[in-house]
Amino acid sequence: MSYDSRKRLPGWLFDKHAVVKPELQSRQSPMDGGTRRCQCGAYESVDANKTHLDAASAAVSSAEVGAFEAETAATVQQLRAALSEVIAGIPGGVARPTDLRRALRIDMNLCCKVLRAVSASGPLAAALHLPGTMALRMFLRAARKAGVRQQAVDAAEQATDDFEELVNRHAGDRTTFDSMVSGLVHDEEAAQITFQHRRATFRGQRHLFGLDVRTQIKCLIVQPSAHNPRLLDLANVTGFISLRRLRPTRAPIVLTPAYTMNDDGTLRDVRREPLIPTADPTADIALLREFCSEPTLHLRVVPGRPGLVYGDLVGVAVGKTAAVTCVEGHLNRAAVPRFREPGNEVGAHLAEVRVPCETLLLDLLIREDTYGPIKPVALASADYLAEVHVPGIHTRWQPMEPPEPVAHLGKGASVLYTPDYPRYPELARYVFKQLGWSGDRFDVYRCRIEYPILPSTVAIFFDLPDAPPESVE
């Protein structure tokens, strides 16, 4: 399958109508009548008698979402039409928020929200701009006092009551209602709502867990193996930049440095070795001390979980002044197939978010002659089973919205620079030097996520190409 903490990726992604998105349209695999494959190349086995979301449940979900969307659109359209009549009846005319504020003598923010709602591109987008019902009634009282005709104000008040009833019946409160509607539209307002919820979740989890990290780095460097050019060598770098405790806690930090799997979830027998020499000849990972603060994490392998490593904060105080940085690196030689073959159809690089994190940098570096240009995509999926799941099991992941882009930054270590971690190019050059690889030949792909959800898994993945007919040099 993929490299670096491989997992099954979902073959189903549903949009606001609970149907498969065109760009990730599921299709029957020619390899197996019981396999479903999305365009990005992620495979999952499908039981003919029991799918993750069978046709009947999909139809029900589509009907439920469609009914809510239709009722919301009709109710909001009625309200904004009534508000437009009120605005049109204000003496002196209204062309901008300042006109509305001067005529009604109300808060400027309320004026802006009302005008954005009536001028939005559609009723669902307008729903996200509407003020609360208490503020709307304040606006209508001011309009009545300013001389707007009674019939127009009465109609707007009734439409406001209908909107309030809609929100209470479907959502219970306005915050939940806005979350529901934001999944039906794709504009800046919906994206801002998602961002606000991510940030609020981060702040709550930071308090509950008692620790956070400013930047989490997960970097995978890929090139054809010197031992067998049909296999790949994988260098992995995991970093926590400015990791701090908010209060005394013994919670371990979860690192997931590379277990490799086939598409069916079976483990590949791959030896892991540290990037730098270590005093312990049995150690297969090591901290890159030149890029770690002191004190830093003490590493320990977790029995029963292949590839999983915990880091314990030992002798670390609390607060910003006691924040630590730790970076780990290791290498898997001849680890996974370079080209498509039965049981390995997709390449992927995954990061598991297990610490409240402000920014996640998921970087994939591929030597230019490995494949040529690729078109990677990214998914961020909530891991409801967290550490309980078995690698390769078919779990019901729900892709998070909006989709996270993967940017091609260019080639070489210098393009890795980011204010999130200014030493990143220096770290990359150090790693390339330890490996003896030419860093300028590597294409760099990045997915950057602010406030990733905990627990979640973020994946960059792409189709593996077929092997060329001629021998690989």
> Which domains does the chain show, CATH number per domain?
58-182 (no CATH), 213-463 (2.60.40)
pLDDT tens track for 299-351: 666 555 555 666 666 667 788 888 889 898 889 899 889 999 887 888 888 88
Token digits of residue 398? 């729900």
Least confident of 11-15, 92-96, 165-169, 421-425: 11-15
pLDDT of residue 400: 57
pLDDT of residue 24: 31
> In this structure, are residues 325 and 215 in contact, taking their beta carbons and an 8 Å threshold?
no
- Respond yes or no on whether the N-terminal peptide bond of residue 402 is cis (omega within 30° of 0): yes
How many residues appear in the chain?
473
Q: CA-CA distance, 253 to 243, in Å (whole number)?
A: 10
pLDDT of residue 34: 35
- Assign 3-state DSSP to the chain and report helix, strand, coil percentages, each to 5: 35, 25, 40
Sequence-ordered list of residues with C-beta below 8 angstroms from that of 56, at least 6 positions apart, any chain: none
pLDDT of residue 303: 57
- 358 pLDDT higher than 80: yes
pLDDT of residue 168: 96
What are residue 236's DSSP bridge partners? 220, 330
Which H or E element spans position 215? strand 211-224
Sequence-ordered list of residues with C-beta below 8 angstroms from that of 340, at least 6 positions apart, any chain: 463, 464, 465, 466, 467
pLDDT of residue 133: 95
320 φψ region: left (φ > 0), alpha (ψ -120 to 50), beta (else): alpha
Only one residue has tokens 């390899």, namely 31
Measured between alpha carbons, how far is residue 202 from residues 26, 184, 206 in Å?
33, 24, 6
pLDDT of residue 59: 41
Q: CA-CA distance, 86 to 153, in Å (whole number)?
A: 6
pLDDT tens track for 399-449: 556 668 899 999 999 999 999 999 999 999 999 999 999 999 999 999 999
Question: β-strands 27-29, 32-37: how paired?
Answer: antiparallel
Q: CA-CA distance, 449 to 4, in Å (whole number)?
A: 19
Helices (H), 89-187: 97-104, 108-119, 123-129, 133-145, 150-170, 174-182
Edge-to-edge strand list for the sheet holding 346-353:
346-353, 456-463, 377-382
Kindly report the average pLDDT of the chain as a whole number: 78
pLDDT of residue 35: 33
- 473 pLDDT higher than 80: no
Q: CA-CA distance, 240 to 219, in Å (whole number)?
A: 12
Measured between alpha carbons, how far is residue 205 from residues 213, 246, 266, 457, 466 in Å?
12, 11, 33, 16, 44
Q: What is the mean pLDDT of the segment spanning 371-388?
A: 73
> In this structure, are residues 336 and 231 in contact, taking their beta carbons and an 8 Å threshold?
yes
pLDDT tens track for 222-243: 999 988 999 999 999 999 999 9
Residue among 123, 163, 115, 120 at smallest CA distance from 139: 115
Residue among 340, 378, 280 at smallest CA distance from 466: 340
pLDDT-derived band at 451, boundaries 50, 70, 90:
very high
CA atoms within 13 A on the CB side of 123: 17
pLDDT tens track for 47-94: 323 333 233 333 444 555 688 999 999 999 999 999 999 999 999 889
Q: CA-CA distance, 343 to 35, in Å (whole number)?
A: 12
Q: What is the mean pLDDT of the segment spanning 208-212?
A: 91
Q: CA-CA distance, 127 to 343, in Å (whole number)?
A: 47
pLDDT of residue 215: 97
- 188 pLDDT higher than 70: yes
- 20 pLDDT higher than 50: no
pLDDT of residue 18: 27
The rounded percent of the chain whose pLDDT value lies above 90 is 47
pLDDT-derived band at 31, boundaries 50, 70, 90:
very low
What are residue 222's DSSP bridge partners? 234, 366
> In this structure, are residues 354 and 213 in contact, taking their beta carbons and an 8 Å threshold?
no
**Global pTM value:** 0.73
Q: Which residue has the higher pLDDT, 45 or 295?
A: 295
Q: CA-CA distance, 186 to 180, in Å (whole number)?
A: 12
Token digits of residue 48? 């003919």
Backbone angles phi, psi at 43, to 5 degrees: -110, 145
